[in-house]
Amino acid sequence: MAKYLKQDDLGSWLKELGKTYKVIAPVEEGDAVIFRPLTDERTLRIDRQATQGPKGVLFPACEELVSFKYGKDPEKPEKVTVDIQETVDAEPTLIFGSRPCDARGFDVFDNAFTKCSVKDSYYMARREQAVVVSLACTKTETTCFCNWVGGAPDGKGGSDVLLTPITGGYLVESVTDKGAALLDSPLLSEATGEHTAEAEKLLAAARESLREAPDFKCVPEQLYNLFDNMDFWEKQAAKCLSCGACTYLCPTCHCFNITDEQQGNQGSRIRSWDNCMSRLFTEEASGHNPRPTKAHRLKNRVGHKFCYFPDMHEGHIACVGCGRCIKSCPVALDIREVVTAAKECRLPEEETADD
Amino acid sequence: MLDQLKETIKKALPELDFVMGWGMGFDALHATPLFMYEPEDVDKLVWGPLNIQNLATYLPSLKGKKVGIVVKGCDSRSVAELLQEKLVNRDEVVIFGMACQGTVNLTKVREIVGNTGLVEDVKYENGKLTVTADGQPHEMLLKDVRADKCGYCRFPNAVISDHFVGEERAPQVEEDTFEDLKEFESQSFEERRDFWMKEMDRCLRCYACRNACPLCVCRDHCVAQSRDPHWVSQQDGIRDKFMFQIIHATHMAGRCTNCGECERACPVDIPVLLLKRSFNRAVKNTFAYDAGLDAGATPPLLAFKVNEDNIKEKEW
């Protein structure tokens, strides 16, 4: 089902949806574009890729898992009691203006949080109540490589509705039943053949503008082969600062830390984003750290996305090619170059001879 | 001049593990640190106002290696400060200095170009930058898009170097009068507080500011993330995030060389250099001291004097 929404009616449509959902959209904040609850005071910015994708809407940078309170048993003062309350924070939420790459990030989250034997009830509660309205890309940026990792400027994975900007408005297509329900609005009219033809032409041009996708089939095997080749990883990681900007901006990175934040006799057990670029990420209680250098850590980041995660999830690469890790890296480290170098790296002869 | 720099590096390279400079990044607008191991790597070296990264950041982690580093004026101050604090050994680093013409603030370029993700070509000539994006050329003067720090730069030439290549340049100003800070401070307390609450709200706690800072050397053992003891909350409230910035700024007092890497590295454009500027001014006023100008000096907060020259406690 495809419909047409006039540019002038976008605000009204979002207002209408706002009656049912909390609407989160990319807005201008300082010099950045960040996903925030849409209010009249905020300026919607969908003309360029948001600085950070909407992953925090479903997987917050910090969330309370349980609150706890220590007390004393009045009968037995030497006995300490603990009152624990689970905190599930979920409400009907509409994510508007994500890009197809951002939405595909939720596919990766679904694999990690809902399809394993242990389900993440916090994420699942939010995911079930969320609806994702994405905006197809009619322009691609120098850092975009969604086509390298199975995506496209008009990819539908992870989205419930896909909008394509065309003359005077948007072509609005539902992807899921959840999304179809949003298209009932009287503000939307039936799309004409001209609308769909224009959208297809723009999207074909966008797909065409991307750099040709290299064949990544051999990458997992190459990454395993390079596992102990620290010379390779040290060169690749030489300019890395080992900060976490890439991971926190990544639509697929989902590692976290859990800490107890206690004041007096009460507190919270919180889950907050953590990242594999940080030394403390793998520091063990004994003091031993299996990833002592930034080279070990970059190896893990690339390995997780292009090798270990696909191994565990039917080949699904944990990178959506949004390019933020390249664009916002303080030193412009390019993950495309690292993966390509791994792919093309000829292994020392003595190692291949053992195979 | 670039050719002369390349020649100088090639000559020194056999004695060194590698030399750090800048190469072209993923597009014409983005330079990226270049690690030159072989003479052919040196051919990839670029020089210009897009060489924004301060490579001194890498030096403390390279102890034990003998490396070369190409520096702009402000970068050289970071090297000097690292030498002062004995975080780098003088005989392990060879410094290639050039005169800096100012560096570009990519956020300002974005304001003119619209979407810097669509950049196809960049040309720099006679103080003028031409950025072509989405088929559209945009002309701008470097002075309109340069980093704020370059507007009050006193040290365009490397303050310390083993090889200085090319002509020296005149400084932008003789004295830094902290006009930016004065302007900010002309606002009421409430306005300033609201400003920081709004800016810090979008902080990701990614620590790019910390890791890009050449003088932020605890890094892997940072108080902000230490688990045992658990010094700082891992909450992402505005106060928690601001707390980290205040810790960072305090640790930089008397050591910060105003290179602005903290602010430049921030993926969400939070103007955190302003905090360091405030401490820089306080140190300047109290100790008449600028960090990173003399590799032999001791930073005032790492020294102790019974009677400080500018603190007249006996006269209180």
Q: What is the ipTM of this complex?
A: 0.95
What is the pLDDT confidence band of residue B221, given thresholds at 50, 70 and 90?
confident
pLDDT at residue A352 tops 70: no
Percent of chain A, pLDDT > 90?
91
- Cα–Cα distances (Å) from A120 to A85, A117, A317, B165, in that order, read 17, 10, 21, 59
* Interface test with chain B among A36, A41, A331, by most B beta carbons within 10 Å: A331
pLDDT at residue B197 tops 60: yes
Residue with tokens 């700024």: B249
What is B156-207 written as a DSSP string? -B-SS-SEE-S-----S-SS---HHHHHHHTS-HHHHHHHHHHHHHT-----
Mean pLDDT to the nearest integer, A123-146: 97
| pLDDT tens profile A68-77 | 999 998 889 8
Residue A167 buriedness (CB in 10 A; 0-12 / 13-18 / 19+) = exposed
Q: What is the pLDDT of residue A234?
A: 96
Q: What is the pLDDT of residue B311?
A: 83
| pLDDT tens profile B131-178 | 999 999 999 999 999 999 999 999 999 999 999 999 999 998 999 999
| pLDDT tens profile B62-106 | 999 999 999 999 999 999 999 999 999 999 999 999 999 999 999
| pLDDT tens profile A280-309 | 999 998 989 999 999 999 999 999 999 999
Mean pLDDT to the nearest integer, A49-70: 96
| pLDDT tens profile A260-274 | 999 999 999 999 999
pLDDT at residue A353 tops 70: no
Taking CA atoms, what residue in A is nearest to B236? A62
Q: What is the pLDDT of residue A348?
A: 65
Percent of chain B, pLDDT > 90?
88
Q: Which residues on neighbouring strands pair with residue A273, listed in sequence order? A: A256
Q: What is the pLDDT of residue B98?
A: 94
Q: How far apart are the CA of B4 and the nearest CA of chain A, in angstroms?
A: 24
The CA-based dihedral angle spanning residues A24, A63, A301, B22, taken in that order and rounded to the nearest 10 degrees: 70
What is A171-187 written as a DSSP string? EEEE-SHHHHGGGG-TT
| pLDDT tens profile B55-74 | 999 999 999 999 999 999 99
Instruction: For chain B, state the CA radius of gyration.
Output: 20
pLDDT at residue B306 tops 90: no
Q: What is the pLDDT of residue B136?
A: 96
**Chain B stretch 126-185, residues whose beta carbon is closer than 8 A to a beta carbon of chain A:** 134
pLDDT at residue A87 tops 80: yes
Taking CA atoms, what residue in A is nearest to B264? A330
Mean pLDDT to the nearest integer, A120-143: 97
Chain A residues in contact with B41 (beta carbon < 8 A):
none
pLDDT at residue A354 tops 80: no
| Average per-residue pLDDT for chain B | 95
Question: What's the whole-model pTM score?
Answer: 0.94
Q: How far apart are the CA of B220 and the nearest CA of chain A, in angstroms?
A: 6
Weakest-pLDDT range from A225-239, B216-230, B236-250: B216-230
Q: How far apart are the CA of A40 and the nearest CA of chain B, in angstroms?
A: 17
**Nearest alpha carbon to residue B98 among B116, B114, B74, B122:** B74
